[in-house]
Structure formats: structure tokens, C-alpha cells
A and B are shown apart, each in its own frame.
Chain A
Amino acid sequence: MARHIVNIVVIWVVLTVLGALVLTLDYLPVIGAEYSEEFDGIFRLLAFMGLPVLTFVFAWVGYSFFAFRQRTGESEGPAWWGRNWVPIAWLAVTASLAITVMIYPGLTGLAKLQADPRGYGWGETGADLVVKVTGFRWSWAFEYPEQGITVNAVQGRELVLPVDATVRFEVNSTDVVHSFWIPAFRMKIDAIPGRTTYMVVKPVATGSYAEDQAFRAQCAELCGLDHSKMVLPVRVVEREEFEAWVQQMKAQ
């Protein structure tokens, strides 16, 4: 029996190392905002925490498949009922793992995301720039109230943001439920009729849809016919370029 335990542990360790090598690959999208780094860190942490759990089950089931097989079904195994310390130890280990993940990175990560417990969205309460987002079937409109401009699928045709500025999106819908999502920023919030939701992001790198398709404002909640086409490009630019773009939009 001890021999089998040792074998399973060896396979477990080997699988975990192999899995960890895979997890060091670059499988995440481009980093567009401050929160993207936070998300990537938590994602990688959870992946490394989940990996040994997964490989434990794989090693155990896989080893049993090869080591404990019989051909005829005639012989019977030892009558173990598990009425000993094993289930208690199992319960203790799994419960501590679950509670650990719940607290860190779960609740601690959540606390960073939500500055206002009674609000309907993500991030800090203040911002350098406010953009009012309106979802409708099947496109977006972005209003910059301080700059006095509006862009949509006809006018401007892209969402332009200055780099290193905190942007507060105030999100609404005029018809059905949509969801405002920018994959490069790793954040989404639903656009619902009758309630203003928000998300606050801080772009940390310039980029555009032309360079990387993760820079796009995508509807992520099924909204009918042209849901899959409800996309507008996003472009993050330097401050001066943003000001120039604002002037250009005003001139139109």
C-alpha cells in the first residue's frame, strides 16, 4: 500500500511540474489597464492553486486505472469503509483550502474593486474623465460631457481614451440588457434600463483595435439579432493626442 501511495505522489508531482510549465506560458490578453495586471496576477495565482488539486485527482484516477485493474470481476477488494481519520483529515484540508481561496484572493480582491458598497459597479469613486456609455440594439454611444462630444458607430466610430488617466464609465441602456466589456481592461458591467452602473479604469498603455482586438468595446450580454456585431474599436492614446482628437471631434 505504501508503494502505491509513493507512486501516486511521484506522478502527482510530475504532473504538477508539467502543468506549472504550461501555466508559465503567455496565455493572457494584452494588458491595457491597471486592473489588467491585478486580474492577471489573481488569475495566475488561482491557476497555480488549482493545479495541484487537479493533478492530484488525475494522478489518483490515472494510477488506479493502470495499477488496480482486474480482468474477470471475480476478486474483491479489501473491505475498507473509511470510518477512520481519513475523511476528517480530508475535510480539514479541503475546508482550509476553500476558506483560504475565499479570503485571498477572493474577498481581498473584491475589497479593492469596490470603493462604494452601495454602488453598482467597479473601482474608485473619483475620476479624471467621465464617459457616459449608452447601449442600444446594436451599438454603443459614448458621450464625453466635460468635452462636449459624443461618438458612436456613425460619428467618430471609436472610443478614444487618454493613457494614465482614471476614466469613469457611467453605463446605461435604452432598450434591453447589454454588457459593456473591454477585454484589454479585463472588466465588464451590464448596461440595464433604469439603473446607472459604472466602472472605473485606468489605461496604462497605448494601444488600438488595429494592433490588438482586445481593445474593443464589446457587448457581452445576449441582446438579440446583431449581438455579435455590437462592437466598437477602442484606442488608448497619449494625453496630447487625446486633446487633439477632442478638438477634431468638436470641429466636425
Chain B
Amino acid sequence: MYALISIASGVASGLIGFYVGVGLTALVRVAFGHSPWDAQISITVGYIFGLVGWLMGIGMWGAWGREWFGLPTYARKAPGWQRYFVFNSDHKVIGIQYLVTFVVVFLLAGLLAMVMRAELAQAGNQFLSNDQYNAVMGLHGILMIAVAVAAVIGGIGNYAVPLMIGAQDMAFPRLNALTYWLNPPVALLLLLTPALGGLETGWTAYPPLSVLTENAQLLFNLAIITFGLTSILGGLNFIATIIFLRAPGMTWGRLPIFVWSMFVASWLALLFTQGFAAALLMVLLDRAFGMSFFNAEAGGDPLLYQHVFWFYSHPAVYIMVVPGFGLALELITHFSRKPLFAYKYAVGGLLGILGLSGLVWAHHMFTSGMPNYLHGPFLALTEAISIPTGLIFLSALGTLFMGRLWLKTPMLFAMAVIFNFALGGVTGIFLADVPTDIHLHDTYFVVAHFHYTIVGGEIFALFGAIYYYFPKMTGRMYNETLGKLHFWWMFLGFNVTFFLMHWPGILGMNRRIADYPSSLEGVNLIISIAAFALGASFLVFVYNMVVSWVRGPVAEANPWRARTLEWQTSSPPPIENFPAPPVVRGHPYEYGVPGAVHAIVPTPMPGGAPAGGAK
């Protein structure tokens, strides 16, 4: 009931806001002698009003907005599962909201990939027309980009970071709730794109095409500008949290490596996301007002977009994969029962990636017709980024060696990250190298490469982390046998699909196509079959998660014997995380050190906190 009221009032005030915006636009337009409706302008203004209406209706008005007018605030109280459907500022609730939302989006976008592979199993158009294929491909791309940006940071990051540093919540809890509730309109807009002609430009939205194309593009632009806002606000929140809310004694040198990786990814999100938003805002202005940023005949330049766009979108791959590295190292050290090898070098590697990632964007543009003298510097800087990335491998391999590997499902996923990313990294050299990139650019070699880095690197880490935190989040244990089955099934399916995919790329199969030369048929059929197997592996995952969440065995507080703080409180943790702030005494990874103590965590007194307790 509470959940229903919350969502219904959000939707209702969102719709009211939309129509108010459209109406105001019509009034202004009519007053100046234009027709009342212009798709670009009316939808944009309607969306802005609708977005504010949605946020206020979902609970921001009560929890936050009333304060601006000197009124007392209130929060909707919702028991049990219903708390996930209200404007809730608890970071643990928000983390699970993010995780469930984006796992659903991941499965949906995965289904779209299945449709694409069915079409590509043979040359020629089987059951999709060219524009249907483009719509499916563009939607798969942007939904997966959203998953890659938000699932680990918004889901695992929100849930784990405050716990790992011994904080009660994020630095700005209401901002955190706002960040999450900005996401449903994004999803709605993107899912509506097929109704308005479908995305024609892929997720990269290069103009002039994106200026000339159907109104689906408008929804895309509004969605991504909103999504960029969530990324920036989230980044800001994590940076403030990690700087100011660490428990006493949690020095920078004792920070768990996942928290470090979140710190780096948050800086990247804060610094670079505006590039994507700015690029799409310019496309929107070109569409709505004919500003001609990208219209060569009117003095604009299509290449301007590509620079601004990739200025975000290359760092974005590090926003995706750096937390994946952090999670992989975190899991590898806990399940190897050994200190994280060369911790300071691993942190240095993450910071090195932060420093270099903003200087490599034009390697996406080697064939774009940018001036020749730009190629050399971007080639060199791109290949230099393999040096800090190598330090992540040093740390992982050093930790594994002579460890006591406890091969639970999360550990299998973490080891797969290192395995997969090795291949993704090596193929990256071919694309960073201009002489090879001018053939391989925009082929299936690139598709294989970025799926190895983002899926192989980040999404494997995400699934490892989902299994790892499942007992903490739900208080129940997942089924280990099914977890391992999911891992091996997904690992094999993934590697067959994407390893083979390099080959048609080399032979001359370009990406983003509904049809391809008939000589490439055989290998594409095998890729499609492997892709269906990969897709089917998630049925095991979904079954395991749903059944275990409902009636899995009750989990202990610390089933993994991990030393970091999130495992020193109950599963699931109380609303304030720890009965009293923990005091950190040592490094989080002192496995194999007799008598080592990471932190002193006050245990809750039976029958409530002691009088005048530490809080």
C-alpha cells in the first residue's frame, strides 16, 4: 500500500508536471505567433517539469522540499520490502534499489543482444528490418552503458562503501536518494525510444545523423543528460563520504582497495561526465533551435562532437572498470587468505589511471579525419596507460601466489576478471596502435575488445560482488552449487562468444550492421550459438537469487571470515550500520598475521544499548 501510494503519486505529479510544461510552452509559442506544439521544444520543457514533478511526488517534497519553505519535513514510513519503493535515504536501501534495478536492465538489454545474435546468425535480413536492427542495437548499447556505469558504483558502492569505512551513511543521504530516483525516468525515456522511431545512431549519437534523425533521439538526449546528472551527484557524494566520514583510525593507507577504486571512479565521474551531457545538449540545441554546432554548411564541425563526446566517454570506461578492478582485488585478497600484494602500488595504479584517462580520448578518432599530428601523442599516451593497469595485475597475481585459495563463487568471478581483462588489455594494444587501428576500427574486433574489458572486467566483478554481498544484503545464503554452475556456464559462454568475435572483425566485418558479407556466415553462426548459451546462464543466476532471497538458509554475520568492517556487523546490518562507531587499529588485509586487529567494533548489548551509550 505504502509502495503503491509512493509510486502512484510520483507518476501522477510527473504527468501533471509534463502537461504543465507542454501547456506553458504552447502559451508562449501561441503568444509569439507559432503553432502550439513543437516536438523538440514541447517535449523538452514538458520533460523538465515532469521530472521535477516525479521527484517531488515520489517523496522528495516531504523529505526535502518542505524544508525550503520553512515547513517541517517528514519521510514516508514503509515496512519490509515496501521501503524500496519510497524516497528512502538509507544507503543500504539505495544500494539494493540500484542493484535490482540495473540487474533487471542488464537482463533486458541482454535479451536485446539475443535478438541481435539471432539476426546475425546468418547473412541477409532474417526477421529484422534494417531500422529495427538499428533500434535494437542502439538500445542494447545505451542500456548496457547505463548498467556498466551505475550497477557497481550505485549498487555495490552505495551498499558497501559507508560500511567499509565505518560510517553510518553517505555524506548526503537525501542527495543519494535523489540520485537513485532520477533513474526511473531515464529508463522510461530509453524504453520509449522504439515508439518514436527507434535509435538510429547507436549510443554514440554522432551528428549530423543525430541532428537529422527521428524524435527517439530527443528522448535519448534528455535521458542521458539526466543520467549524467545522477553520475555527477553520485560521484560528489562518494568523494565527500570517503574524505570526511572515515571511522577514527581509518587512514588513507588502511582504506580497503575497493573504496580506493570508488574514490578514483567518483573523481572521474565528477570531472568528465559533463562532457557527454554538453555534447548531447549541443545536439539537442541543434535539433530544437538550429544552432548549427555540427552543421558544416553553417560553419559548424561534426568533429567537435566527437572530441567533446569522447572526452567523457573514454574516461567513462574507467568509471566502469576501475571499481571492477577494486572489487576483484578485494575478493582475491579475502579469498586467498593473504594480504593484498603491493597494496600501495595497486593504489598508485588506480591513481595513475585517474591521471592518464583524461588524456587519451582521441584514440577513438584515429580514422575520424582529425589532423595527422594528433595521432602520435594519443597513441603514446594510450599505450602508457597499460603501465598503471599492469600494477593491478601485479597486485592480483602476487596475492594469488602461495595463497590459500578458498574457491567460493565470488572468488571464481574475481579470478575470471584477471583472466578476461588480460585478453581485453592485449587486444587494446592493436587498437591503440594507429597502423593496426585503421583497419580494425569500427569492426567486430572492437566489439570483442570492449566486451572483454567491460563485461570480462567489470560485469564479472559485479556478479562476484553480488554473490559476495548477498548474505550481507539479504541475511540469507545463496546456493553455492548453483552459483558455481552459473559461473562456469557464463565464463565458458562468454569466452567462446567474444574470443571468436575477434576473427570476423579482422576479416572485415564492420560493427553495427544488420547484414554482412556471406563469406562470414559460418563463424557468426557459432558465435550466435555461444551467445545464446551465455544468455541462458543468467536463468541459473535469477533462479538462485530469487529462491535464496525468499527461503535460503539464514546467513552468519561474516560467512567469508573477511576482515573488513562491513562483515563485523550483523547480516543485514542495523539501520545505523554499527551500534557505535568502530575504531580502526590496523590494515584490513592482515591475513596470516597472528593477533592482527583491523578494527574494534562495539558489539550491541542484548536488550538495547547501554545507558549513555557511545552514540
Is residue A155 within 8 Å, beta carbon to beta carbon, of the partner chain?
Answer: no
Tell which of B339, B390, B400, B436 touches A81, judged by Cβ atoms closer than 8 Å: B339
A98 CA to B560 CA in the complex, in Å?
38
B439 touches A78 (CB 8 A): no
Query: Which residues in A have their C-beta under 8 angstroms from that of B2?
Result: none
Is residue A50 within 8 Å, beta carbon to beta carbon, of the partner chain?
Answer: yes
Query: Which residues in B have their C-beta under 8 angstroms from that of A129?
Result: none
Binds A, one of B45-53, B275-283, B372-380: B372-380
Given A65-B407, A76-B338, A77-B592, A57 contacting B397 (CB threshold 8 A): yes
B514 to chain A, nearest CB (A): 5
**Which residue of A is nearest B591, CB measured?**
A76
Binds B, one of A100-108, A156-164, A242-250: A100-108
Tell which of B300, B302, B398, B590 touches A79, judged by Cβ atoms closer than 8 Å: B590
Given A69-B405, A77-B591, A223 contacting B209 (CB threshold 8 A): yes
Given A50-B429, A90-B394, A194 contacting B301 (CB threshold 8 A): yes
Is residue B582 within 8 Å, beta carbon to beta carbon, of the partner chain?
Answer: no
Is residue A13 within 8 Å, beta carbon to beta carbon, of the partner chain?
Answer: no
Is residue A143 within 8 Å, beta carbon to beta carbon, of the partner chain?
Answer: no
Query: Which residues in B have their C-beta under 8 angstroms from that of A83?
Result: 342, 344
A50 touches B426 (CB 8 A): yes
Tell which of A60, A91, A109, A175 touches B433, judged by Cβ atoms closer than 8 Å: A109
**Which residue of A is nearest B422, CB measured?**
A57
**Which residue of A is nearest B337, CB measured?**
A76
B602 to chain A, nearest CB (A): 26
**Which residue of B is nearest A50, CB measured?**
B426
Given A87-B391, A98-B384, A186-B439, A106 contacting B433 (CB threshold 8 A): yes
A214 CA to B507 CA in the complex, in Å?
7
* Chain A 102-135 interface residues, beta-carbon cutoff 8 Å to B: 102, 105-107, 109-110, 112-114, 116-122
Query: Which residues in B have their C-beta under 8 angstroms from that of A171?
Result: 369
A43 CA to B134 CA in the complex, in Å?
31
**Which residue of B is nearest A185, CB measured?**
B439
Query: Which residues in A have their C-beta under 8 angstroms from that of B566?
Result: none
The interface bits of chain A over 46-67 (1 if a CB of B lies within 8 angstroms of the residue's CB, else 0) are 1001110110011011001100
The interface bits of chain B over 559-588 (1 if a CB of A lies within 8 angstroms of the residue's CB, else 0) are 011000000000000000000000000000
The interface bits of chain B over 359-376 (1 if a CB of A lies within 8 angstroms of the residue's CB, else 0) are 000000001111111011
Is residue B488 within 8 Å, beta carbon to beta carbon, of the partner chain?
Answer: no
A218 to chain B, nearest CB (A): 6
Tell which of B209, B342, B379, B387 touches A110, judged by Cβ atoms closer than 8 Å: B379
A201 CA to B204 CA in the complex, in Å?
30
Binds A, one of B110-118, B187-195, B515-523, B545-553: B515-523
Query: Which residues in A have their C-beta under 8 angstroms from that of B513?
Result: 227-228
Is residue B202 within 8 Å, beta carbon to beta carbon, of the partner chain?
Answer: yes
The interface bits of chain B over 479-518 (1 if a CB of A lies within 8 angstroms of the residue's CB, else 0) are 0000000000000000000000001001110101111111
Tell which of A54, A74, A77 touches B403, judged by Cβ atoms closer than 8 Å: A77
**Which residue of A is nearest B559, CB measured?**
A73
A188 touches B442 (CB 8 A): yes
* Chain B 404-453 interface residues, beta-carbon cutoff 8 Å to A: 404-408, 415, 418-419, 422-423, 426-427, 429-430, 432-436, 438-439, 441-443
**Which residue of B is nearest A55, CB measured?**
B422
Interface size of B by CB at 8 A reads 100
Given A60-B400, A110-B379, A227-B513, A53 contacting B422 (CB threshold 8 A): yes
Given A77-B403, A220-B441, A46 contacting B429 (CB threshold 8 A): yes
**Which residue of A is nearest B561, CB measured?**
A73
A66 CA to B536 CA in the complex, in Å?
28
Given A54-B422, A78-B338, A188 contacting B367 (CB threshold 8 A): yes
B367 touches A113 (CB 8 A): no
Tell which of B379, B395, B590 touches A102, judged by Cβ atoms closer than 8 Å: B379
Is residue B1 within 8 Å, beta carbon to beta carbon, of the partner chain?
Answer: no
A228 CA to B120 CA in the complex, in Å?
12
B517 touches A216 (CB 8 A): yes
Is residue B296 within 8 Å, beta carbon to beta carbon, of the partner chain?
Answer: yes
B430 touches A46 (CB 8 A): yes
B302 touches A224 (CB 8 A): no
* Among A1, A39, A94, A118: residue with most chain B CB under 10 A: A94
Tell which of B297, B367, B403 touches A189, judged by Cβ atoms closer than 8 Å: B367
A27 CA to B507 CA in the complex, in Å?
8
B485 to chain A, nearest CB (A): 17
Given A57-B418, A87-B342, A98 contacting B386 (CB threshold 8 A): yes
A4 CA to B400 CA in the complex, in Å?
12
**Number of contacts between A and B (CB, 8 Å)?**
303
**Which residue of B is nearest A64, CB measured?**
B400
Is residue B303 within 8 Å, beta carbon to beta carbon, of the partner chain?
Answer: yes
B439 touches A192 (CB 8 A): no
Is residue B383 within 8 Å, beta carbon to beta carbon, of the partner chain?
Answer: yes
**Which residue of A is nearest B596, CB measured?**
A79
Query: Which residues in B have their C-beta under 8 angstroms from that of A149?
Result: none
Is residue A14 within 8 Å, beta carbon to beta carbon, of the partner chain?
Answer: no
Is residue B593 within 8 Å, beta carbon to beta carbon, of the partner chain?
Answer: yes
A224 touches B433 (CB 8 A): no
A120 touches B370 (CB 8 A): yes
A82 touches B441 (CB 8 A): no
B130 touches A225 (CB 8 A): yes
Tell which of B432, B433, B506 touches A27, judged by Cβ atoms closer than 8 Å: B506
A67 to chain B, nearest CB (A): 9
A213 to chain B, nearest CB (A): 4
A50 to chain B, nearest CB (A): 4
A194 CA to B133 CA in the complex, in Å?
29
Given A68-B402, A87-B342, A216-B517, A221 contacting B442 (CB threshold 8 A): yes
A81 CA to B398 CA in the complex, in Å?
9
A222 touches B433 (CB 8 A): no
B201 touches A224 (CB 8 A): yes
Is residue A75 within 8 Å, beta carbon to beta carbon, of the partner chain?
Answer: yes
Query: Which residues in A have their C-beta under 8 angstroms from that of B436?
Result: 39, 42-43, 46
Is residue B213 within 8 Å, beta carbon to beta carbon, of the partner chain?
Answer: yes
Tell which of A57, A79, A91, A183 touches B391, judged by Cβ atoms closer than 8 Å: A91
Given A65-B405, A109-B434, A94 contacting B390 (CB threshold 8 A): yes
Is residue B200 within 8 Å, beta carbon to beta carbon, of the partner chain?
Answer: yes
A88 to chain B, nearest CB (A): 9
A141 CA to B437 CA in the complex, in Å?
25
B404 touches A70 (CB 8 A): yes
Tell which of A29, A112, A116 touches B506, judged by Cβ atoms closer than 8 Å: A29
Is residue B345 within 8 Å, beta carbon to beta carbon, of the partner chain?
Answer: yes
A225 CA to B133 CA in the complex, in Å?
9
Is residue B401 within 8 Å, beta carbon to beta carbon, of the partner chain?
Answer: yes
B519 to chain A, nearest CB (A): 5
A95 CA to B297 CA in the complex, in Å?
46
B255 to chain A, nearest CB (A): 16
B405 touches A192 (CB 8 A): no
Is residue B208 within 8 Å, beta carbon to beta carbon, of the partner chain?
Answer: yes
A–B complex contacts, Cβ < 8 Å, 29 sampled: A27-B506, A29-B506, A29-B508, A49-B429, A57-B393, A61-B397, A65-B415, A68-B403, A68-B404, A77-B338, A79-B590, A80-B341, A81-B341, A81-B343, A87-B345, A94-B386, A94-B390, A98-B383, A106-B432, A109-B433, A117-B372, A121-B369, A181-B510, A194-B297, A195-B301, A219-B510, A224-B134, A228-B514, A228-B515
Q: Which A residues are within 8 Å of any B CB, using their own CB? A: 1, 4, 27-29, 38-39, 42-43, 46, 49-51, 53-54, 57-58, 60-61, 64-65, 68-70, 72-83, 86-87, 90-91, 94-95, 98, 101-102, 105-107, 109-110, 112-114, 116-122, 171, 175-177, 179, 181, 183-184, 186-190, 192-195, 197, 212-214, 216, 218-229
Q: Across the A-B interface, give the 9 residue pairs with the lowest CB-CB distance, nearest first.
A: A194-B296, A183-B508, A82-B342, A77-B338, A228-B513, A109-B435, A213-B517, A57-B422, A94-B390
- Contacts A42-B435, A101-B383 given; 5 further ones with Cβ under 8 A? A39-B439, A43-B506, A73-B337, A90-B390, A224-B213
